[in-house]
Structure 1
Amino acid sequence: MDKLLQMIINQHHQLLVALGQHLALSFMALLIAALIAIPLAMIFKDHRRLGEIALQVAGVFQTIPSLALLGLLIPLVGIGNPPALIALVAYAIMPIYQNTYTGLTTIDPNLEEAAIAMGLSRWMRLRRLELPMALPLIFSGIRIALVMTIGTATLAALIGAGGLGTYIVLGIEQNNNQELLIGAVFSAILALVFSVLLKVMGKSKRNLKIGFGLILLACIGWGGQKTYQHFFAQPQAEIVIAGKMGSEPEILINMYKELIQAKDPSIKIVLKPNFGGTTFLYQALKRNQIDIYPEFTGTVLKAFAKAKTTPQNPQAAYRKAATYLKTQQLTYLKPMAYQNGYDLAVTPEVANQYSLKTISDLASVSDQLTAAFDPDFSHQKDGYLGLKSAYHLQIGSVRSLEPSLRYQAIAQKRVQIVDGYTTDPEIRQFHLVVLKDDQHFFPPYQGAPLMKTSFAKQHPTVVKQLNKLSGRITMAEMQTMNYRVTVKHEKAKTVARQYLLKHHLISAKQK
């Protein structure tokens, strides 16, 4: 608890930003859903057949897994807030529409007849009789939608929309319970607090008016701020730097930020750590949704260029990767010194039991073992798909797990094989045995910043600053930095900055 409180104090600014992002996304989705669902229910209340069809259509969206819906939306509307907002609206419509429709269609027919006999028009009946009587159910639907939206909005972090889900993703990736608790607890508190406020609003007309007034004031204030920023505030250069899942990409993108701002502190850098898998980032870069991300030569050759053969010489592999990327109007800067290649690892007990030293040794017994692989590794040709063919592996059972979870699985002896990277700190932490790639299936993996060629031409200073990492960072240094972030739970920003200071790549005066 002390560590959790200290983390909240130390990260109060980042936490407030995440809270703001989470609230803005959730309430925008709720507002749009209400503006769609309530009028629809009002229209269809006298057309029961159409009303039931609309109810079924809204219910279909509830059956689609949220991650699948986000994945379907990304090719259509890109990444960030748009797909997250659309998905949340789709989920929020059902409870609001269902409760509003039910409230409007279950009013006592005698009351309806009395209102008609008094000469009230359809609009007057709706305003004076039907909506007031249906209000408790309508607010109940909005409360359900709000709680669901706040909870589901945590997934927005997986597609770069930020929010409290960022803490949950980081907690899972770095096996950090404090990060997990911050994301989960604050999401629950938000849902509880606003659920209670909506319940209070629905109790009387006075509370309803006060509540709507406060919401209106908040919307005006938010809209005014956005308008000022768009039309009157001095535009500021912004560079978006993203990273794959895990501690190492987060360390690297923090180094990129420090190096760029060392030369020009006025440039606004937006970091998006744990942004997604390889293909996700690559497509985001090509769509101009991010500007820079660290990529590895072997991944470029296998996953993007679809090369049947790859050079074993690191320099030759880099030249071939850079040449291919040039045809895609992308610029690949000079690589760092260390290689972060794939590997397969087993526990010492399994290595001794089956006399495993190489991946070839694994082939004859692989059907007796179970494995946990990173999602990227499981589905890429430079991962298990290609390795399976090259070594004739037939692993008995393969699970896809996020990076930190697969190491927990092997440490708890739930699986016998995991994939990993040569710089992973867990290899040392759990005393794992890395099997030798005796057929040299894995190509060289040197990391370097990847960006669009147009961006590189527009930002020559950025290119020059990032090239300062060329030939830097040994494997031992990267392993140590990963260990500090993943195992010791130090901040990636701190670890990155300390490395740059130690090697005199930035000045201590830079903040």
Structure 2
Amino acid sequence: MQSLMKLIAHQQGQLVAALGQHLVLSLVSLLIAAVIALPLAMALKDHRRLGELILQITGIFQTIPSLALLGLLIPIVGIGTVPAVIALVLYAMMPIYQNAYTGLTTIDPQLEEAGLAFGLSWWTRLKRYELPLALPLIFSGLRIALVMIIGTATLAALIGAGGLGTYILLGIQQNNNGVLLLGAGLSAFLALLSAGLLKWVGKSRRNLKIGGVVLAGLLVCGGAVTMQRHLVHSQPDTIVIAGKMGGEPNLLIHMYKDLIEEAAPQTKVVLKPNFGGTSFLYAALQRDQIDIYPEFTGTVLEGLAKQKQTPKSPDQAYQAARRYLARQGMTYLKPMAYQNGYALAVTASFAKQHRLATISDLVEQQAAVTAGFDPDFAQQPDGYLGLQKAYDLKVGTVKTMEPTLRYQALVQGKVELVDGYTTDPQLRQYHLRVLADDRHFFPPYQGAPLMKARFAKTHPVVVKQLNKLAGQITTNEMQEMNYAVTVKHQKASVVAHQYLRSHHLITK
């Protein structure tokens, strides 16, 4: 609890911003879904066959996995808030429409006959008694939809829409239960509070008016903030820098910011940390939603270019990645020194007991080894499958597990071997031994700033400043900085600034 309170105090500003993003995203999605579903239910209450058909169609949306739906929307509308809102609206349609349609079609038939006998019009019947009688079910549907939206909106962080999902994803990635609990706890609290408020709003007309005014106020404030951010980002002297999930990309984008601002203090640099994965960031760069992000040579060649074979030489890998990106209208600046590639790690005691220094040494012990591998690493040609051929390596037992769990399993003695990345802070935290890749199997992964060629041409000062990082930062230095941010919970901005100052890359 003490650690959680420190985290809240440390992340206070970012936490309020994430909470606001999550709330506005949820309310906007609920409002749009209600504006579509409620009139549809009213219009079809007397057309049962068509009404049931629409109910089945809205139910189909519920069967589509949320990640798959987001993936389908990205090529059409890009990344960020828009695809997140569309997905949330589609998910909210069914409970709102179903409850409203059920409430309007289950009214006492005798009451309906009386209304027709008195010659009441369709609109008069709806206003006088149908809507008031159906209101409890309608608000029940709205509550169900809102809780569903708030929970599903956590996935919006994967496509750069922000919100509390950022903390959940970071907690999973960094194996930080405090961060995970913070994101999940606030999301659950927000869902319960919102559902309770909707229940209160539905109790009387007075409460309904008050709720409408509060909702309008929240939407206006949220819209103003969103518009302000859009205007700031669209200014000609504003540069938007994004990073992938985790502490290391966060460090790099803060370094980029400090370097740019020192040479061009009039330029406003906007950071978007934890923006998403490679495909989302690259799509955002193509659509001019961001201007720069750090990318790795191996990721470019294997993830974007889909090359079957990556050069083993770091320089050859960089040149191949640079040429590919140039054909896509991109500029890939010079890379840093450190490698963030795959590695195999064991505990220091296990390495000493079996005299392990290289992967080749492991071959003699492989039959008795239990390995904990990331699911991707276990199935990829540049992972375990390729290692089997390159080293004639086949460990006794392979257990696939989430990346954040494999280091815990290693330290607890449940496995003897894990895969990881050479700059992982857990290597430093648990004093693990990385086995040398003596046959140079793993492809090079050097990071460098990626931007559009048009942006590079119009911002020569930015290019010059970011090129100061070329050949800088060793693997050990990055591992230490990752440790400071991820394990010791120091601010990425402070750690990044200290590195630049100590290496005389900035003066202030």
Distance (Å, rounded) in 1 between the aligned partners of 2:230 and 2:348: 59
Q: Answer with 304-313 or 323-332: which moved more.
A: 304-313
Amino acid at match of 2:179: E
- CA 110–383 in structure 1, closer or farther in 2 if over 3 Å, else same: same
Amino acid at match of 1:129: Y
Q: CA deviation at 1:470?
A: 1.4
Q: CA deviation at 1:437?
A: 2.2
TM-score (ref. length: structure 2): 0.90
Q: CA deviation at 1:215?
A: 2.4
Whether contact under 8 Å (2:241, 2:270) holds in the other structure is: yes
SS at match of 2:275: strand
1:492 is aligned to 2:492: yes
Distance (Å, rounded) in 2 between the aligned partners of 1:336 and 1:451: 16
* 2:402 corresponding residue in structure 1: 401
Deviation track 1:152-177 (CA, whole Å, cap 9, x = no partner) reads 11111111101111122222223333
Gap runs ≥5 in structure 2: none
- CA 478–273 in structure 1, closer or farther in 2 if over 3 Å, else same: same
- CA 41–412 in structure 1, closer or farther in 2 if over 3 Å, else same: farther
TM-score (ref. length: structure 1): 0.89
Q: CA deviation at 1:222?
A: 4.9
Whether contact under 8 Å (1:244, 1:278) holds in the other structure is: yes
Q: What are the equivalent positions in structure 2 for 1:276-355 lying under 5 Å apart? A: 276-307=276-307, 310-347=310-347
Whether contact under 8 Å (1:298, 1:442) holds in the other structure is: no
Q: CA deviation at 1:317?
A: 3.3
Q: CA deviation at 1:324?
A: 2.9
Q: CA deviation at 1:84?
A: 1.0
Deviation track 1:65-122 (CA, whole Å, cap 9, x = no partner) reads 2222222222222211112111111111111111111111111111111111121111
Distance (Å, rounded) in 1 between the aligned partners of 2:56 and 2:365: 51
Distance (Å, rounded) in 2 between the aligned partners of 1:454 and 1:392: 47
* 2:91 corresponding residue in structure 1: 91
Amino acid at match of 1:143: R
Q: CA deviation at 1:327?
A: 2.2
Q: Answer with 324-333 or 144-153: which moved more.
A: 324-333
Whether contact under 8 Å (2:24, 2:219) holds in the other structure is: no
1:257 is aligned to 2:253: no
Distance (Å, rounded) in 1 between the aligned partners of 2:347 and 2:324: 38
- CA 158–412 in structure 1, closer or farther in 2 if over 3 Å, else same: farther
Whether contact under 8 Å (1:25, 1:153) holds in the other structure is: yes
Deviation track 1:319-343 (CA, whole Å, cap 9, x = no partner) reads 3332332222221111212222211
Q: CA deviation at 1:250?
A: 1.7
Gap runs ≥5 in structure 1: none
Distance (Å, rounded) in 2 between the aligned partners of 1:367 and 1:104: 68
Distance (Å, rounded) in 2 between the aligned partners of 1:229 and 1:481: 30
Q: What are the equivalent positions in structure 2 for 1:20-35 lying under 5 Å apart? A: 20-35=20-35
Aligned residues: 507
Q: CA deviation at 1:130?
A: 0.6
Q: Answer with 84-93 or 417-426: which moved more.
A: 417-426
Distance (Å, rounded) in 2 between the aligned partners of 1:386 and 1:150: 42
* 1:8 corresponding residue in structure 2: 8
- CA 374–161 in structure 1, closer or farther in 2 if over 3 Å, else same: farther
Whether contact under 8 Å (1:313, 1:444) holds in the other structure is: yes
SS at match of 1:161: coil
* 1:62 corresponding residue in structure 2: 62
Deviation track 1:322-371 (CA, whole Å, cap 9, x = no partner) reads 23322222211112122222112234676688876544565688687665
SS at match of 1:120: coil
- CA 219–294 in structure 1, closer or farther in 2 if over 3 Å, else same: closer
Distance (Å, rounded) in 1 between the aligned partners of 2:467 and 2:242: 17
- CA 267–170 in structure 1, closer or farther in 2 if over 3 Å, else same: farther
- CA 163–379 in structure 1, closer or farther in 2 if over 3 Å, else same: farther
Whether contact under 8 Å (2:170, 2:179) holds in the other structure is: yes
- CA 452–367 in structure 1, closer or farther in 2 if over 3 Å, else same: farther
Whether contact under 8 Å (1:99, 1:137) holds in the other structure is: yes
1:460 is aligned to 2:468: no
* 1:134 corresponding residue in structure 2: 134
1:168 is aligned to 2:148: no
SS at match of 2:441: coil
Amino acid at match of 1:427: L
Whether contact under 8 Å (1:371, 1:416) holds in the other structure is: yes
Q: CA deviation at 1:450?
A: 1.4
- CA 227–469 in structure 1, closer or farther in 2 if over 3 Å, else same: closer
* 1:204 corresponding residue in structure 2: 204
Whether contact under 8 Å (1:99, 1:141) holds in the other structure is: yes
Distance (Å, rounded) in 2 between the aligned partners of 1:24 and 1:329: 35
% identical aligned pairs: 65
Whether contact under 8 Å (2:79, 2:280) holds in the other structure is: no
Q: CA deviation at 1:210?
A: 2.3
Distance (Å, rounded) in 1 between the aligned partners of 2:463 and 2:354: 49
Distance (Å, rounded) in 1 between the aligned partners of 2:227 and 2:446: 44
Q: Answer with 30-39 or 410-419: which moved more.
A: 410-419
- CA 388–137 in structure 1, closer or farther in 2 if over 3 Å, else same: farther
Whether contact under 8 Å (1:173, 1:247) holds in the other structure is: no
- CA 54–400 in structure 1, closer or farther in 2 if over 3 Å, else same: farther
Distance (Å, rounded) in 2 between the aligned partners of 1:361 and 1:179: 38
Deviation track 1:472-496 (CA, whole Å, cap 9, x = no partner) reads 1122211211111222222222211
Q: CA deviation at 1:386?
A: 4.1
Q: Answer with 98-107 or 378-387: which moved more.
A: 378-387
Q: Answer with 167-176 or 193-202: which moved more.
A: 167-176
Q: CA deviation at 1:270?
A: 3.1
1:480 is aligned to 2:480: yes
Amino acid at match of 1:72: L
- CA 424–460 in structure 1, closer or farther in 2 if over 3 Å, else same: same
Q: Answer with 105-114 or 203-212: which moved more.
A: 203-212
SS at match of 2:418: strand
Whether contact under 8 Å (1:346, 1:434) holds in the other structure is: yes
Q: CA deviation at 1:380?
A: 5.3
Whether contact under 8 Å (1:378, 1:400) holds in the other structure is: no
Amino acid at match of 1:490: Q
Q: CA deviation at 1:128?
A: 0.8
Q: Answer with 483-492 or 6-15: which moved more.
A: 6-15
Deviation track 1:112-151 (CA, whole Å, cap 9, x = no partner) reads 1111112111111111111000001100110111111112
Q: CA deviation at 1:223?
A: 4.9
- CA 232–184 in structure 1, closer or farther in 2 if over 3 Å, else same: closer
Whether contact under 8 Å (1:73, 1:83) holds in the other structure is: yes
Distance (Å, rounded) in 2 between the aligned partners of 1:255 and 1:116: 72
Q: CA RMSD in A?
A: 3.0
Amino acid at match of 1:34: A
* 2:423 corresponding residue in structure 1: 423
Whether contact under 8 Å (2:24, 2:218) holds in the other structure is: no
